[in-house]
Amino acid sequence: MSAAPTPRVVVQNDAGEVADETARRIAEAARARVRASGRFTIALAGGTTPKRAYELLAERPDVPWGAIDFYFGDERAVPHDDPDSNYRMARESLFDRQSIEEGRIFRMRGELTDLDAAASEYEAVLPQSLDFVLLGMGEDGHTASLFPGSAAVLEEERRVLAVVGPKPPPRRLTLAPPALRAAREIVVLVTGSAKAAVLARALTGPIDVHALPVQIALGATFIVDHAAAADLPARLTSPGSSEENRS
Binding residue count for ligand 6PG, defined by CB under 6 A: 16
Full strand arrangement of the beta sheet holding 160-164: 74-76, 171-175, 160-164
Q: Is 19 exposed, middle or buried (0-12, 13-18, 19+ CB in 10 A)?
A: buried
Closest contact distance (angstroms) between CB of 193 and ligand 6PG is 12
Rounded distance, CA 200 to CA 240, Å?
19
Rounded distance, CA 50 to CA 44, Å?
8
146 neighbors 176 (Cβ within 8 angstroms): yes
Q: Is 231 exposed, middle or buried (0-12, 13-18, 19+ CB in 10 A)?
A: middle
Residue nearest to ligand 6PG (CB): 136
Closest contact distance (angstroms) between CB of 225 and ligand 6PG is 12
Strands 171-175 and 74-76: antiparallel
Tell me the per-residue interface mask from 78 to 97 with ligand 6PG, x by CB under 6 A, - otherwise: --------x-----------
Helix ranges restricted to H, the chain:
15-37, 51-59, 86-90, 96-98, 115-125, 177-181, 196-204, 234-237, 243-246
Among 74, 111, 155, 225, binds ligand 6PG (CB under 6 A): 74
Among 143, 215, 237, 242, binds ligand 6PG (CB under 6 A): 143
| 221 binding ligand 6PG? (CB under 6 A) | no
Q: Closer to ligand 6PG by CB, 13 or 48: give it.
A: 48
Q: Closer to ligand 6PG by CB, 7 or 73: give it.
A: 73
Rounded distance, CA 34 to CA 48, Å?
28
| 45 binding ligand 6PG? (CB under 6 A) | yes
Closest contact distance (angstroms) between CB of 46 and ligand 6PG is 3
Rounded distance, CA 178 to CA 166, Å?
22
From 101-109, 141-149, 218-226, 233-241, give the range in contact with ligand 6PG by CB under 6 A. Answer: 141-149
Q: Closer to ligand 6PG by CB, 74 or 131: give it.
A: 74
Residues 153-182 within binding reach of ligand 6PG (CB under 6 A): 167
Q: Closer to ligand 6PG by CB, 188 or 232: give it.
A: 188
Q: Which has the closest alpha carbon to 64: 108, 32, 97, 92? A: 32
Neighbouring-strand partners of residue 146: 143
Among 37, 48, 129, 193, binds ligand 6PG (CB under 6 A): 48
From 13-21, 27-35, 44-52, 213-221, give the range in contact with ligand 6PG by CB under 6 A. Answer: 44-52
Residues binding ligand 6PG (CB under 6 A): 45-49, 73-74, 86, 136-138, 142-145, 167
